[in-house]
């Protein structure tokens, strides 16, 4: 497809995203447009309209940036009251400057208010053209473009009927290490080297625990592979940012509630729990067999991941573990 068709394609895909996914998309576009900068989606809180925090820091510049993302129908324009509220949010949060990104457009009074306040505006055509220029959501093949399905699949839900992809089966059995890796993702650009340095883990564990965060819904994978000029990077979702904030504030109950919700929503755990409810209990070997039968993993690979899956399962208060001749998982829920 040509550039015009590619622009229409990314617009269509962007409008099909959920509100939070759209914020993550905008974060990806901003990060690609300003490689030295670090952006992250804000935690779900009364943030006054700041959806994305950014910081541009180098030897000559140190600027904090607040971004608001508005996924609007093209017919629903952004007016001056929204700009004025955003200006107040920037002042309240101490941001040096701000940008409003929308899929629609801005009224003339809104543009005038933004100009007086020094707020940058990005309308739908500018956003989607930038995505094509930056190769976000599309790939360039000679003079033509093609969809980057791997990128868009990062926003999709898992198939709830077929075999579970191997990448959705965790290989991370330390929640302490998970917390450390999630914190390092929130404090950095989220590349593997950043996680290794900040969290003090090996490159392999940086990947495994970032993927575990992704399975839990705490982490978003921005770039699908490392075979292009881009490096794979991770950033916290709103749930992930909330979880890290709760852990940092030592609000254990709130953090545990989010963690348990993430575990329960992991597809492999959902299927195991359904089976466990019916049978009442099963041994660790049966757990490994179940993982192999429900996923794309071989029996040997399922055995390696069975320990991590068992740790996640045992974290649920409705599941207890009995250790006799062998480990056994018992359903204690209603």
User: For residue 327, what is the domain's CATH number?
Assistant: 1.10.10.1470
Residue 186 within any structural domain of the chain: yes
Same domain, 213 and 278: no
> Residue 136 carries which DSSP code?
S
Q: What is the pLDDT of residue 75?
A: 85
Q: Point out the least confidently predicted range of 131-140, 157-166, 174-183.
A: 157-166
Q: Which of 257, 276, 258 is nearest to 268 (CA)?
A: 276
Q: Which of 250, 265, 280 is the last residue of a domain?
A: 265
Same domain, 219 and 283: no
Same domain, 53 and 42: yes
Q: What is the pLDDT of residue 126?
A: 95
Q: Which of 107, 122, 153 is the last residue of a domain?
A: 153
Q: Give backbone dihedrals phi and psi of 321, rounded to 5 degrees, phi first.
A: -120, 125
Same domain, 13 and 118: yes
Residue 283 within any structural domain of the chain: yes
SS3 per residue for 1-40: CCHHHHHHHHHHHHHCCCHHHHHHHHHHHHHHHCCCCEEE
Residue 160 within any structural domain of the chain: no
In total, the chain counts a number of residues equal to 334
Indicate the pairing of strand 52-57 with strand 38-41: antiparallel
Contact 167, 295 (CB under 8 A): no
pLDDT of 224 strictly over 50: no
Q: What is the pLDDT of residue 13?
A: 92
What pLDDT band is residue 228 in, cutting at 50, 70 and 90? very low
What pLDDT band is residue 312 in, cutting at 50, 70 and 90? very high
CA atoms within 13 A of residue 226's CA, in its CB half-sphere = 7
Give 211's contacts (C-beta < 8 A, 6+ positions apart).
Answer: 167, 170, 171, 172
Same domain, 258 and 276: no
Number of domains observed in the structure of the chain: 3
Q: Which of 153, 187, 217 is the last residue of a domain?
A: 153
CATH of the domain at 191: 1.10.10.10
What pLDDT band is residue 36 in, cutting at 50, 70 and 90? low
Same domain, 270 and 324: yes
Residue 158 within any structural domain of the chain: no
Q: Give backbone dihedrals phi and psi of 40, rounded to 5 degrees, phi first.
A: -150, 145
Q: Looking at the whole model, is its pTM more than 0.85?
A: no
Residue 162 within any structural domain of the chain: no
Residue 95 within any structural domain of the chain: yes
Same domain, 12 and 126: yes
Q: What is the dihedral of CA 250, 256, 262, 267, to 10 degrees?
A: 150
Q: What is the pLDDT of residue 235?
A: 84
Q: Residue 212 is part of which domain span?
A: 167-265
What pLDDT band is residue 223 in, cutting at 50, 70 and 90? low
Same domain, 67 and 109: yes
Per-residue pLDDT of 96-113, as tens digits, reads 899 999 999 999 999 999
Top pLDDT among 154 and 28 is at: 28
Q: What is the pLDDT of residue 299?
A: 87
Q: What's CA 306's distance to the chain center, in Å?
A: 25
Q: Position of tokens 């480990």?
A: 327
Residue 242, both tokens: 């909330």
The three-point CA angle 189-192-197 to 5° equals 85
Helix (H) or strand (E) holding 184: helix 175-186
Overall average pLDDT of the 34-38 stretch = 67
Same domain, 255 and 288: no
Q: What is the pLDDT of residue 334?
A: 65
CATH of the domain at 53: 3.40.1350.10
Residue 219 within any structural domain of the chain: yes
In this prediction, what percent of the chain has a pLDDT beyond 90? 52
pLDDT of 92 strictly over 70: yes
Return the number of other C-beta atoms located less than 10 Å from residue 315's C-beta: 15
What pLDDT band is residue 42 in, cutting at 50, 70 and 90? low
Residue 229 within any structural domain of the chain: yes
Same domain, 181 and 261: yes
Q: What is the pLDDT of residue 274?
A: 92
Q: Point out the least confidently predicted range of 84-98, 123-137, 144-158, 269-283.
A: 144-158
Same domain, 7 and 144: yes
d(CA 149, CA 159): 16
Overall average pLDDT of the 140-153 stretch = 84
Q: What is the pLDDT of residue 231?
A: 60
In 78-185 the beta strands, taken as DSSP E runs, fall at 97-102, 119-122, 138-141, 144-147
Exposed e or buried b per residue across 83-120, where buried means at least 16 C-beta atoms within 10 angstroms of its C-beta: bbebbebbeebebebbbbbbbebbeeebbebbeebebe
What pLDDT band is residue 310 in, cutting at 50, 70 and 90? very high
Residue 296, both tokens: 């794309």
Same domain, 60 and 184: no
């Amino acid at each position: 497809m040509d550039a015009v068709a590619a622009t229409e394609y990314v617009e269509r895909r962007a409008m099909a995203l959920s509100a939070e996914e759209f914020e993550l998309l905008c974060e990806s576009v901003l990060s690609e447009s300003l490689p030295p900068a670090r952006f992250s989606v804000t935690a779900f809180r009364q943030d006054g309209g700041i959806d994305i925090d950014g910081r541009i820091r180098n030897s000559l510049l140190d600027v904090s940036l607040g971004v608001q993302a508005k996924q609007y129908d093209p017919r629903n324009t952004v007016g001056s009251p929204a700009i004025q509220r955003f200006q107040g949010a920037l002042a309240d949060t101490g941001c040096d400057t701000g940008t409003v990104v929308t899929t629609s457009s801005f009224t003339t009074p809104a543009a005038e208010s933004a100009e007086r306040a020094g707020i940058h505006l990005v309308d739908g055509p500018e956003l989607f053209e930038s995505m094509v220029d930056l190769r976000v959501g599309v790939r360039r093949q000679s003079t033509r473009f093609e969809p980057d399905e791997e990128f868009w699949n990062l926003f999709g839900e898992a198939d709830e009927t077929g075999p579970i992809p191997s990448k959705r089966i965790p290989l991370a059995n330390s929640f302490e290490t998970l917390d450390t890796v999630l914190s390092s993702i929130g404090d950095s650009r989220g590349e593997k080297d950043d996680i290794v340095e900040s969290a003090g883990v090996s490159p392999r564990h940086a990947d495994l625990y970032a993927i575990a965060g992704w399975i839990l819904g705490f982490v978003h994978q921005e770039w699908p592979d490392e075979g292009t000029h881009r490096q794979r990077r991770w950033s916290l979702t709103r749930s992930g940012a909330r979880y890290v904030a709760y852990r940092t504030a030592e609000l254990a109950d709130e953090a545990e509630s989010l963690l348990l919700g993430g575990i329960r929503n992991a597809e492999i755990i959902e299927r195991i729990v359904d089976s466990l409810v019916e049978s009442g209990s099963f041994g660790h070997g049966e757990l490994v067999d179940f993982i192999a039968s429900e996923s794309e993993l071989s029996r040997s690979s399922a055995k390696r991941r069975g320990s991590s899956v068992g740790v996640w399962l045992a974290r649920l208060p409705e599941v207890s573990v009995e250790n006799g001749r062998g480990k056994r998982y018992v359903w204690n829920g209603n």
